[in-house]
Copies of this chain bind each other. A is one copy, B any other.
């Protein structure tokens, strides 16, 4: 059931190619692989033959309709399941007193995940839990609009022992630098669809395993214990963003993250077009919003630190919430650099490897 639930996220449910609506099952000497694929992403989940949770009696492969397979295996819940190809292209499933026959499709017609193996590629290793939290922080900031396809991706840029990840939708920007233990000699430059990364983050184990990332010319493959995820890359050049990050600031404040998140969530409820206003005074940050004919709200949270001049800025509360929810640091720093400059949001740790920008909303 786990294996099926992992791969089903890549099934092309509405594809005009019938075989992509299926799950490819392959029983081999090592165990069984389940694979699903759409034009953008392939997910493969493996159950190892350990003589206990899985035994392979005979090798074979078939592609079967994903929805029926998923629904029926779910109904069997705790019971043991026997999968067998008795007649050509028919999978027999026996569990308890249930006997099922599912019509399958030719497994040789299914796209293989290992196609790109021979291509020259760059390999990186990274902690799975770090990759997972990084993806969550970045994928939410990527654009969801297809008007600028390159911005629907997360940019990976790598040189020596540093992996830089960037996502932006034009209003927000997220940047994170990860230290690599094994320096790479290749220069890497790839843009991965954010929605594929988001699916990946949901199925990555929470264990402190490492994940191998293998980038070739037109695809990227993530490999961890029992799981392979392959994604197409987005063609094009990711915008150069170094110039967008303000290099100096007029004011910096530090606030408790949970406290700020709660306040922003509160005032955003009453915000017309999600616009909230921040007012940084001597020792408090005031948050305000209103909707005409409905009402208004204000909320105050204490500042942990402030250096520089008082400021007032309006921004999109929903966008701010997205950033704060994925912040894994007890306090955050906000930097104000003037009315038209983006607000810089930094986790308040000593690493300084993560940075968010959020562009103010101009109000009358």
Listed in ascending order, the chain A residues whose CB lies under 8 Å from chain B are 65, 68, 71-72, 75-76, 90, 97-103, 262-263, 265-267, 269-270, 291, 293-301
Contacts and interface: CB of A to CB of B under 8 A. Distances in A.
A75 B265 contact: yes
Contacts of A267: 98
Contacts of A98: 263, 266-267, 297-299
Contacts of A300: 97
Contacts of A291: 68
Pairs A-B, 10 closest by C-beta atoms: A102-B295, A100-B297, A97-B300, A71-B269, A98-B299, A75-B266, A101-B295, A72-B269, A99-B298, A103-B295
22 contacts: A65-B294, A68-B269, A68-B270, A68-B291, A68-B294, A72-B266, A72-B269, A75-B262, A75-B266, A75-B269, A97-B263, A97-B299, A97-B301, A98-B297, A98-B298, A99-B297, A99-B299, A100-B270, A100-B298, A102-B294, A103-B293, A103-B295
B299 A72 contact: no
A301 B98 CA distance: 9
Contacts of A295: 68, 90, 100-103
Nearest to A68: B294
A247 to B, nearest CB: 34
A179 B269 CA distance: 49
Given A72-B269, A99-B299, A101-B295, 7 more contacts: A72-B270, A75-B262, A75-B266, A90-B295, A98-B263, A100-B298, A103-B295
A248 to B, nearest CB: 31
A290 to B, nearest CB: 9
Contacts of A270: 68, 72, 100
Contacts of A75: 262, 265-266, 269
B266 A103 contact: no
A104 to B, nearest CB: 9
